[in-house]
């Protein structure tokens, strides 16, 4: 099966490689077809070399997708992998370390050169995730600060409203009788 991925020259930028990186099982990975395209080999050849050197690819470097993952994650979200939809084989995916190891087992000059770009793309994605986490933390802190301010303002406003209500409904002074009222003799009491 001939590799139909775009030519290598179109994918040389880190951003272009980053768009091929997927998040599966909580890890950032590249599908074998995309990695083969980046390294300038057929997917079949990449997978052959990986299987010949399987001891170099522990589960945290590479794993095979399940049929459900293939359908939900890859086929549904990756238009450029439409041929994978009808393929009987389940694709392999490679983590950052797996992509480097794949370049080593292919041992072609092109694969080794592209592995640098691939690693840079993974690093850039990691930095983006960290910056998003920082922004999320700052937003949470700002939200808590604003809630505290609103809470103290709400209490102050409620106090003002109560004072205004008291002023609007003054208590009637005690009725004092008009005229002379003799003082009560305190000694009799």
27 found inside a domain: yes
168 found inside a domain: no
Express each pLDDT in 92-111 by its tens digit: 899 888 888 888 888 777 77
142 found inside a domain: no
183 found inside a domain: no
Nearest to 43 by CA among 9, 77, 94, 79: 94
| Residues 6 or more apart in contact with residue 108 via CB below 8 angstroms | 39, 40, 41
139 found inside a domain: no
162 found inside a domain: no
Q: How far is CA 114 from CA 62, 110, 159, 187, in A?
A: 18, 6, 68, 111
Statement: residue 90 has pLDDT above 80 = yes
Domain boundaries, position 12: 8-128
User: How many Cβ atoms are within 10 Å of 115's Cβ, its own excluded?
Assistant: 20
| Residues 6 or more apart in contact with residue 30 via CB below 8 angstroms | 20, 21, 22, 38, 93, 94, 99, 118
Of the ranges 48-62, 152-166, 171-185, which one carries the lowest mean pLDDT score?
A: 171-185
Helix or strand run (H / E) with residue 94? strand 92-94
Q: At what angle do helices 32-39 and 43-52 cross, to 10 degrees?
A: 100
pLDDT at 6: 46
15 found inside a domain: yes
- Would you place residue 87 in the very low, low, confident or very high pLDDT band (cuts 50, 70, 90)? confident
62 found inside a domain: yes
Domain count, the chain: 1
Express each pLDDT in 110-148 by its tens digit: 777 777 777 777 778 778 777 777 777 888 888 888 888
């Amino acid at each position: 099966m001939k590799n139909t991925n775009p030519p290598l020259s179109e994918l040389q930028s880190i951003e272009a490689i980053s768009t091929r990186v997927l998040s599966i099982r909580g890890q950032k990975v590249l599908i074998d077809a995309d990695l083969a395209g980046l390294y300038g080999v057929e997917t079949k050849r990449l997978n052959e070399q990986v299987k010949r050197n399987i001891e170099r690819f522990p589960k945290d470097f590479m794993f095979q997708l399940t049929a459900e993952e293939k359908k939900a994650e890859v086929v549904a979200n990756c238009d450029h992998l439409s041929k994978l939809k009808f393929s009987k084989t389940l694709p392999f995916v490679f983590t950052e370390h797996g992509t480097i190891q794949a370049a080593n087992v292919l041992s072609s000059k092109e694969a080794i050169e592209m592995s640098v770009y691939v690693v840079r793309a993974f690093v850039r994605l990691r930095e983006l995730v960290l910056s998003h986490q920082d922004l999320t933390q700052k937003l949470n802190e700002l939200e808590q600060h604003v809630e505290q301010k609103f809470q103290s303002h709400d209490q102050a406003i409620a106090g003002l409203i109560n004072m205004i209500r008291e002023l609007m409904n003054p208590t009637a002074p005690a009725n004092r009788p008009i005229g002379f009222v003799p003082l009560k003799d305190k000694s009799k009491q």
